Every structure is written in structure tokens, then in C-alpha cells.
Structure 1
Amino acid sequence: MEEEIEKLFQKMLDPEESEAYYFADKLGQKADEKVKDRLIELVADEDWEKAYLACRALSKTPWNEESLDAIFKVIYDRKNKLKQGAFVQILEEFDLSQRFVDIFRVYLFGNFKASTLAKDYLDQVEFEISPRTIRKAEKHWNHYLNNPEDADSLAIKRMEVEPMLLEMKELFS
């Protein structure tokens, strides 16, 4: 079994392999704790293509929360600002229902592609919302208001975010 896993890793990480996605999926389906840990290490790899394939493999494992923790860590890392979109795109393979605040942060502070994809998730995913979730989102919103990276998008985000936060608050009134 270990030999088979190693072959899957080699095939998935081979830059000449045209079926790398297939091998990533297969690896994720066969993953045990040891494989999961190795994949999570790969998520932070300097080669974003290897990291992306590791994310894809992780999406096929039962370790949703641990995998998402590693992926969001990479998304939030400033050195990955230009590659955020690819990592946000792979999130569609995961259960995001517990990750409203993380997606909201990407929407506020991500690059254009990441922010656009995050907005789609905010519109489409059914999130678990609590008063604590709302407070955390408001904290990030206030931080964004005080430190907007792009003054032009501030008005647009204000039109989208303020009604969203108000609607969520009304759920608990």
C-alpha cells in the first residue's frame, strides 16, 4: 500500500504528467493520517501547482477542517497575493458551511479574482451563522473600512456588505 501511495505522489507531482488531477483525486481517496499530513505540508509548497494539487487531493479526504485551515493560511499569506485566485477556486471542492468569516475576509482583502470567487461563495453557500460569527465579520468589516486597499471598491463593497450584515443581525433579533 505504501508503495502505491508513493507512486501516486510521484505521478501527481510530475510536471510532465497530463493526468495529475486524476492522481490527486486517487491519492485523496486513499489518504490516511500520514498522507493527509504530507498533503497539508505540500499546500504550503513554493510551487503553487504542487500546492494546488495537494489541495485537490485533500478535498477528497474526510479532513475538511484541517485541510481548510491549511488552505486559508496560504490564501492569507501576503506572498501569495497573485496566486490567491487558484486557491480560492479549489475551495469549491470543500464544505464551506462553517467558514463564513474566512470567505468574508477573502472577499474583503483578496485580489480581484479571489474576491470575486469569494463573493460567489457568499451568495451560494448556506453558512452556519451565529451572533459570534456576525461579530467576527463586523470586526473584519471595520478593519476594511479603516484600511481599504482599493478606495474605488469601497463604495461597491459597502453597498453589498452593510445590507448583508444587517440581514444576518435581524436573524437573531
Structure 2
Amino acid sequence: MDISALVQQLSGELDDQAFKASDILAEKKSAEVIGEMVKLLDHPNDESKILAARTLGLIADHREALDPILQAIDKNPKIAGELLVHLENFDLSDKYVALFKLSLFGSFKVSSLAQDLMDHKEFDITPRVLKKARKAWHHYENNVKHDELYELKKLEVEELLTELQSFMDSE
């Protein structure tokens, strides 16, 4: 089956063959497949977006697909968790701030998934990354209700930022 026919199976109303088509496309691992899946991240059908992210996640660590998936996560809060879960196989070493923001501002599911990625992946932590993380935290602090949940989040985040600063100081 050709690539365009497989991509068509992921577009619009999905049938029981959509996951199989996703698997076949992932096995092809071609630049054409990656390009088509990136385009599909903008499809009006949420299921098509999720399958595109799934396919890209199965292909694994193609840098050109990472930013489009993160943009799709930002543009589609309703399905952000379903998209985020497919980042597991990507090199996220330079995406700490993006994940940190998702952990702060995302839904419970998105926040939990982002935190899990932050806990289990390795990151390039630089002074600039720390500065951007602090800036995101200050934005969060100034834009949420200061209730019990905020206080818990504050304790966690301030401990995290302190640990990152200690790491930077020891380098």
C-alpha cells in the first residue's frame, strides 16, 4: 500500500484499520511519512491528530517532528494529554522549559504526564533554561488563585528550582 493511501486512512473518520495504517507508516520511517504526519497534526479531526502523534512517536526521535507535536499540544488543550504521551521516545533534552510550562499550566493529566517526562528524561540545564523556568513560575504565581493547591505547587516548584540552581552551581 502506498503512503498516501495509508495517510488517507488516518484522515477524517477513522475505521478499525487506522491503527494498522499507523503501524505500517511508522515502519516506513521516511521523510515523506514524517512530513505527512506533521501535516496531519493540523487536521480538524482530533483522532487524526492523535494518530499522527502516535505514528511519529513510534518512528521515534525525529527532531523535525518534536516542535510540531509540542505546538499541537499547545493548540489542542482538549487532547493535549493524548498527544503528550507520544513524546516518550523523543530526545527532550532541550525541551525542559516547554515541559515545565505544561506541568504548571496543563490539566491534571497533562501536568502529570509532563512531570513524569521531566522526572525520567535527561535535560540540558543551563543558566538560560533556569531563568526561563523561573520566569514561567513567576507568570504562574501571578495568574492563579493562591489557595491550598497553589501552596502545594509552590513548595514543589521552589524545591525543584532550588535543586536546579544547586546543580548549576556545582557545575
Which 4+ residue blocks in structure 1 deviate beyond 6 angstroms? none
- Pair 16,36 (structure 1): closer, same or farther in 2 beyond 3 Å: closer
Distance 1:51 1:94 in 2: 17
Does the CA contact (< 8 Å) of 1:28 and 1:61 recur in 2? yes
Q: Which structure 1 segments of 5+ residues have no match? A: none
Does the CA contact (< 8 Å) of 1:105 and 1:140 recur in 2? yes
Secondary structure of 2:88's counterpart equals: helix
Using the size of structure 2 for normalisation, the TM-score is 0.86
* 1:32 equivalent in alignment to 2:30: yes
Q: CA deviation at 1:35?
A: 2.8
- Pair 138,32 (structure 1): closer, same or farther in 2 beyond 3 Å: same
Does the CA contact (< 8 Å) of 1:109 and 1:149 recur in 2? no
| Partner residue, 1:9 | 7
Query: Percent identity among equivalent residues?
Result: 34
RMSD in angstroms over aligned alpha carbons?
2.2
Does the CA contact (< 8 Å) of 2:7 and 2:36 recur in 1? no
Q: Matches of residues 80-159 of structure 1 in structure 2 within 5 Å? A: 80-148=76-144, 151-159=147-155
User: May I ask how many residue pairs the two structures share in their alignment?
Assistant: 169
Distance 1:152 1:50 in 2: 38
- Pair 55,160 (structure 1): closer, same or farther in 2 beyond 3 Å: same
Matching residue's letter, 2:70: F
Distance 2:49 2:146 in 1: 28
